[in-house]
Amino acid sequence: MGEPMNLRRLRQSEIVRGLVSDVQVDAKKLMQPLFCVEALKEKQAIPGLTDVYRDTEETILRQIESDLEAGVKSFLLFGVPAHRSKQDFHSDFTARAISQIKKRFGADLLLAVDVCLCSYTEHGQCGVLNPEGDHVENATTVSELAKFAVSYAQAGADCVAPSDMMDGRVRAIRNGLAAARLEKTLLMSYAVKFHSSFYGPFRVAADSAPKGKVLLKDRATYQIDFRNSKDAVRSALRDQEEGADILMVKPGLPYLDVLSTLSRDIHLPWAVYEVSGEYAAIELLAREGLANGPRAHVESWTAFVRSGAQIVITYGARNAKEWLKNG
Ligand code: PBG
């Protein structure tokens, strides 16, 4: 019997711990979501998401200015139009917001824009419903999405990010961008997006919860079932094959295993979305005095990086510099 193995020697002080650590979260790897809401009088807080707002076309510019000062470089924009319909959607509002942001800040930031129809449809589904109202039509939806993505890119988006989960949308968007000679536009696919209970605060922010008198009540027929790990692999391979530049796993913490396996096997940059519900869960713990919020956030972000993410989309990006200061 030898001496007990001394593992505590390398844990003895913050300097030693910092020196021997092998995972580091870097603020420039974080992407900040933004919500721009048409016809809103003044910016509104979002339940559960501290320091995150539904912005007006004016307040969003001030918000970005202060985020840039805080060191944020990348943003993910969600446009929320005032008018909703069943079909014939118009991307004008979001395109206008994009061009205003790019006109003001140009190459100082990277602007990714979410591409989905859930804030545009009357029923809140991510695409066009069939006349019976029980099925999202794939082909019709994909052609709308491609049209939207091209109009966002033409307005100046550096990256388009389809989150709808229709089949074939990555290829359609890639082809649409090519036809419009938008060869620099990045395509970040929400390739591995699960049908999750953690999207609650977001659906309030983007007014995108499924609603109304239609038969289809949830997104289970297009988002990935969390009991199906093989579907996650197929979805990622498919979107790689269709021409995505960046792939994403969403949500984050409950799917670290998926992120870890896929990022080892598929050699594209991987993003992870720390979604609204998981972010809000930490905020609630902190509010109840049951956790140190900033430390818990940094712990989660570190888990994402350790599991293979190059990009972390988080509502806390604007606080990262501050929170990352202490180790
Ligand atoms: C839209 C979309 C959703 C999120 C991002 N894009 C919600 C959903 O699919 O219902 C969730 C983000 C979050 O919860 O922070 N399709």
Closest-CA residue, ligand 1 atom 2, reads 163
Q: Ligand 1 within 6 A of 304 CB? A: no
Average pLDDT for 191-205: 96
Residues with active-site annotation: 193, 250
pTM score, whole prediction: 0.97
The Cα 133–Cα 216 span in angstroms is: 6
Phi-psi domain of 207 (left: phi exceeds 0; alpha: psi -120 through 50; beta: other): left
Q: Is the pLDDT of residue 145 over 80?
A: yes
Q: Ligand 1 within 6 A of 166 CB? A: no
pLDDT of residue 212: 85
User: Helices in the chain by DSSP H: which ranges?
Assistant: 14-20, 59-69, 92-105, 138-155, 169-179, 200-205, 229-241, 256-265, 276-287, 293-306, 320-324
Q: Ligand 1 within 6 A of 163 CB? A: yes
209 CA closest ligand 1 atom index: 10
pLDDT of residue 2: 82
pLDDT of residue 3: 87
274 CA closest ligand 1 atom index: 15
Q: Ligand 1 within 6 A of 114 CB? A: yes
Q: Is the pLDDT of residue 198 over 70?
A: yes
Could you give the count of Cα atoms lying within 13 Å of 103 in the half-sphere of its Cβ? Answer: 8
Question: Around Cβ 133, how many Cβ atoms within 10 Å?
Answer: 14
Give the distance (Å) from ligand 1 centre to CA of residue 1.
Answer: 55
Write out pLDDT tens, residues 174-191: 999 999 999 999 999 999
Write out pLDDT tens, residues 201-252: 999 999 899 988 889 999 999 999 999 999 999 999 999 999 999 999 999 9
Q: 131 by DSSP, 3-state: which? A: coil
Write out pLDDT tens, residues 267-279: 999 999 999 999 9
Give the distance (Å) from ligand 1 centre to CA of residue 251.
Answer: 9
Q: Ligand 1 within 6 A of 118 CB? A: yes
pLDDT of residue 119: 95
Least confident of 109-113, 160-164, 208-212, 226-230: 208-212
Q: Is the pLDDT of residue 143 over 70?
A: yes
Higher pLDDT residue, 4 or 153?
153
Q: Is the pLDDT of residue 1 over 80?
A: no
